[in-house]
Structure 1
């Protein structure tokens, strides 16, 4: 037995996330999340780690509502964001707190009427800038509180929009707007920003004198792009650093010596061309330069080495996510890590050291130190759970000769196992890191082998591989998945007579497409899935992005709903009502058409082999622990019914 055999044990596992290192490299902290006493919410706390990897981790914070987003000041004080209610009736917004390096209790550093959502401190000066929302008509922080109180007292939730977007993932945008605020002087550095700072990423120079941030610029209709803006922290003067129509410029990182800013550049896609993400560097006072143009990978994070001599970058690569060093002058790329892990939260430190979190499908995220010679040392934090099986790789060959690689989990023992094809979302992504929410080991513990392929459109295999399915989702991504399934079914441990397919978001789209184009699977699970593309396009929260890829003709040609009559496989439909990325209308229409128009319609009593698991309060992912537990219980019951011939045992809490 392992912790994956019991959902309660699995959900109780500690989860390591955000990493921060002090400017001098002497202190390192991480965020560790655990279940609350009611098991209804994950609560995070900040733990101190030993950079040398000798001493055990120790917990620093103990707030009832948790702490997150740790960062260090130049003096070594620890800053974090937390909600610290004063009494049972007091529900203040999240504030910025400071835990002195010299010891003692944490003190509130900055509270804002709408809360604090992020913070960045200068590395060599006493300066901190926070992200915080303000109402557009507010004349200041005190006025903002009065206006918020008025809306609350009058129970008004209405929002008047003049532009796009109006929603994002699972929450409404507005009426307040994100601002950047000087935490020390409580000064608004970005008055009247409009939607410019939605999803903004910003950095503060080491001397605290300037801020560089991404800046959203509305275009015609619902179009938008992101430029880079420089803000003088003393005066608030704002100037545009780089603005290139047809691109999104993001992830600015200012060199520790203040000489330059690095950033990513993403070209806007078209119906015939996918986006391309590259790395850029701009010396202040000079023009920006695109680096490593021949490097056929997409940088996913950007940081500077402590001495400003190199850019430290991560990128998907062949089912992994290594760390790379890029010369900011020549653009030469050097791979620093050579293991089977994906690295995130990369934090360079003095002496050429790099701290990061790394994970794979064999190991949850854990902190490590990368030495200048490339040696990687695990740092004590939380225990690694024992797995209920083994992990291997499978490579198939597509009809055009392209290799299609997959991860494959196999349950313990030597008996043939039924196969579950699990398709990743995105679709611009890769199965290359541990997922707490989409975890194959919970199915493997039930005796299933789980196949996780990277078909066309996946990242980490080059631009041409992404283009394989661009604007043609039902084409090579589908045939790639079938080739991967064929290769897995040839494995001696796989029982090819019992197979299922499942996926969420784009993976749910592919599950729907598969349902209408083959009957090879015994069951299909489709979560947060796209069904009718003509309906989906204008209603998703980022319709402008969708329109760049799919013309009306492409959407019709690739829409799963047009093949509903061909569906003869039992389907489990799952959707949350608060999903704004794939609106609930997709599931409602899919469910109705399964019952009325599929090859397995409801009988005269309204009974159907299909099932619909609906979450009125959940979003795109279904995150609440109690709901994630029910998700896996229903999925395993559905799979057991159709692949194992077992009577379905639905969770009692469903009523």
Structure 2
């Protein structure tokens, strides 16, 4: 029976839940829902409110051309969000700058809370018992005031200046340039928000010629944001921000430059005075992800010693008094890496998510020294976990490879109730089974196998080995961008393995591939592929491998080390590690986890002469994590080595001039999948090469 995954257009049109917030009284959840624009070239985002007990009654809260995201509740139950929607009282509208907006709990129109020239980047933390919150926003380094920032931005815009002068490292991050503005944490007091019968006009000072001699004052009817991190450099690229319930103290993980590298330390900021007090700071150690207890007396956080080529380090859970005293490590024997944490309703434990054996369950970690207890035992990965302080129940999003993110309520008795939503879970074509193998060194290697309808001994399915990125990650949660259901709908069995370096199996499992990406990760992948093709419902004679980022690295490594696959797709892939280390957005990390010798030994480019498998190379020019030079060099060396006298080659190169590491524009995603499936159909299924129409 056909599903929405048989058509790429139908697939893209599926609505997506992207975030969740829970009201202070635990009765309402607000969901961020993305839907495809009418022209199919982007996504609109809106906020929907649903009962948090599972009852019916989803209601749309927002509707604007610019969309809304990042919902959060105030202590009074008002809904905060970020949007670039027009502000009727603003004299000039910047269509790209999102501002903070508030939708009153009592009803009525949403109203702007900020009017910053550079916009608001995020809602960093909201107090639960006062009208204070913290936002993240960028200000130009020469600006002493909000007015200065607006004037400097206007001047750059008028003169069409895009140049950036860098004085520190790094200069890029994933898919965007850093600077010239610097990240700041700004405190906002909503008690300073007032309503007027008409627009407030703030006259600017002028000289005799009529030119503006002073920037326009910040609006008097909006609460003036207070800079909590003046002259930050890049220190306010925070790795977590929390605020006490009374809004008096902010605890932030602030960046400390160390040469070309950096570490994160925990800093307490007095909101009234702006004074900073360092709580935790150690050489070669990061303190991140702070959360404050509901009574405001304690702070929990993650501590991790920086890894070296000798091996990975544990990500440790810690608890301390709000002033940094009485620090103690929690669950020291627990061999998992936290992906999120918050205090339980009674402040006697932490609610923590972590990767675990191909899933992402919720754990309860007691503060009294008790062992972590797993609260969820299904095949899902949980995120956006919120605690209902009135009942102790949890509200969260969960997903797996069989279901995209959807909201649920988790009772302490173990029962799970789906929440109402305007987004129905789609019917998927695959069935999912847990598979595993034994690696050459005796380690257990597991993964998910997605099987198409009708796969059997009489009709075995061709196999697509799909390798995850990271590499410190796990195939445990739904992805709209990398979705194996689309391949299953086209008849492929898809293997999603977690080889060495994957999270959720303990530190020793990660260490097996450390400083040696081409060793255990590769043999793990071969071992589990061997186990899966031994099944009678999988066709060993028709196989392909593909991956992106680290998965692309492994695809390149496989191309030079085995000819068992009929086709290889390599996306955003590392090809020459010595070159990559100096051009990626954060050189210091890569040079800290590899020895120079290992970087050479594990570089796929050294084995180009051994490639026997047709390769599809895919890269975006705005990928700063794995820069375009990797794809260009790979393509150049494939052609130098294998092109025929007439210039033809069995390999292909799909290039996106305006895409980043992931290829996010909807129609580019369509082209990506069309090209990948056409390439696989040619080399795995024995069909003719069919060029996708929109590639001209």
| Structures share fold, TM-score greater than 0.5 | yes
Q: Residue 444 of structure 2 is aligned with which of 382, 396, 403?
A: 403
Q: Helix, strand or coil: the match of 1:352? A: coil
1:387 and 2:388 correspond: no
Equivalences for residues 37-56 of structure 1 within 5 A: 37-56=38-57
Q: What residue number does 1:625 align with? A: 666
Q: Residue 655 of structure 2 is aligned with which of 597, 614, 617?
A: 614
Structure 1 residues 252 and 89 mapped into 2: Cα distance closer, same or farther (>3 Å)? closer
1:209 and 2:248 correspond: yes
Contact 2:314 2:335 in 1 (8 A): no
Q: Distance between the aligned counterparts of 2:545 and 2:326, measured in 1?
A: 49
Q: Distance between the aligned counterparts of 1:33 and 1:149, measured in 2?
A: 32
Q: Distance between the aligned counterparts of 1:243 and 1:235, measured in 2?
A: 22
Q: Helix, strand or coil: the match of 2:231? A: coil
Q: What residue number does 2:562 align with? A: 518
Contact 1:85 1:92 in 2 (8 A): no
User: Which runs of 5 or more residues in structure 1 are unaligned?
Assistant: none
The structural deviation recorded for 1:266 is 2.1
* 1:571-601 CA distance string (max 9 Å, x none): 000000000000000000000000112xxx1
Q: What residue number does 2:317 align with? A: 279
Q: Distance between the aligned counterparts of 2:494 and 2:285, measured in 1?
A: 38
Q: What residue number does 2:571 align with? A: 527
Q: Distance between the aligned counterparts of 1:537 and 1:384, measured in 2?
A: 42
Q: Residue 184 of structure 2 is aligned with which of 171, 179, 188?
A: 179
* 1:83-108 CA distance string (max 9 Å, x none): 11369985251000000000001000
Q: Distance between the aligned counterparts of 2:394 and 2:58, measured in 1?
A: 18
Q: What residue number does 2:372 align with? A: 333
* 1:131-156 CA distance string (max 9 Å, x none): 11111110110110000011111111
TM-score by length of 2: 0.92
Q: Distance between the aligned counterparts of 1:403 and 1:284, measured in 2?
A: 42
Q: Distance between the aligned counterparts of 2:531 and 2:661, measured in 1?
A: 31
Q: Helix, strand or coil: the match of 2:77? A: coil
1:244 and 2:282 correspond: yes
Q: Helix, strand or coil: the match of 1:192? A: coil
Q: What residue number does 1:571 align with? A: 615
Contact 1:84 1:92 in 2 (8 A): no
For the aligned residue pairs, the C-alpha RMSD in angstroms reads 1.2
Q: What residue number does 2:111 align with? A: 107
The structural deviation recorded for 1:273 is 1.1
1:371 and 2:415 correspond: no
Equivalences for residues 122-521 of structure 1 within 5 A: 122-184=127-189, 185-220=224-259, 222-285=260-323, 286-350=325-389, 351-381=391-421, 382-413=423-454, 414=456, 415-521=459-565
Q: What residue number does 1:79 align with? A: 80
Q: What residue number does 2:213 align with? A: none
Q: Helix, strand or coil: the match of 1:183? A: strand
The structural deviation recorded for 1:334 is 1.0
Q: Helix, strand or coil: the match of 2:296? A: coil
The structural deviation recorded for 1:111 is 2.0
Structure 1 residues 12 and 555 mapped into 2: Cα distance closer, same or farther (>3 Å)? same
Q: Distance between the aligned counterparts of 1:85 and 1:26, measured in 2?
A: 31
Structure 1 residues 36 and 461 mapped into 2: Cα distance closer, same or farther (>3 Å)? same
1:16 and 2:17 correspond: yes
Q: What residue number does 2:219 align with? A: none
* 1:429-448 CA distance string (max 9 Å, x none): 00001111100010010100
The structural deviation recorded for 1:56 is 3.5
Q: Helix, strand or coil: the match of 1:590? A: helix
Contact 1:268 1:275 in 2 (8 A): yes
Contact 1:257 1:307 in 2 (8 A): no
Q: Distance between the aligned counterparts of 2:525 and 2:562, measured in 1?
A: 12
**4+ runs of 1 displaced by more than 2 Å?**
85-90
Structure 1 stretch 88-97 or stretch 559-568: which is displaced more? 88-97
Aligned length: 651
Structure 1 residues 269 and 43 mapped into 2: Cα distance closer, same or farther (>3 Å)? same
The structural deviation recorded for 1:306 is 2.6
Q: Helix, strand or coil: the match of 1:565? A: helix
The structural deviation recorded for 1:159 is 1.2
Structure 1 residues 210 and 533 mapped into 2: Cα distance closer, same or farther (>3 Å)? same
* 1:272-314 CA distance string (max 9 Å, x none): 1113212111113414222111001101101112321211000
The structural deviation recorded for 1:110 is 1.1
Q: What residue number does 1:553 align with? A: 597
The structural deviation recorded for 1:533 is 0.4
The structural deviation recorded for 1:26 is 2.2
- The structure with the largest alpha-carbon Rg is 2
Q: Distance between the aligned counterparts of 1:364 and 1:90, measured in 2?
A: 34
User: Which runs of 5 or more residues in structure 2 are unaligned?
Assistant: 190-223
Contact 2:464 2:545 in 1 (8 A): yes
1:96 and 2:100 correspond: yes
Q: Helix, strand or coil: the match of 1:366? A: strand
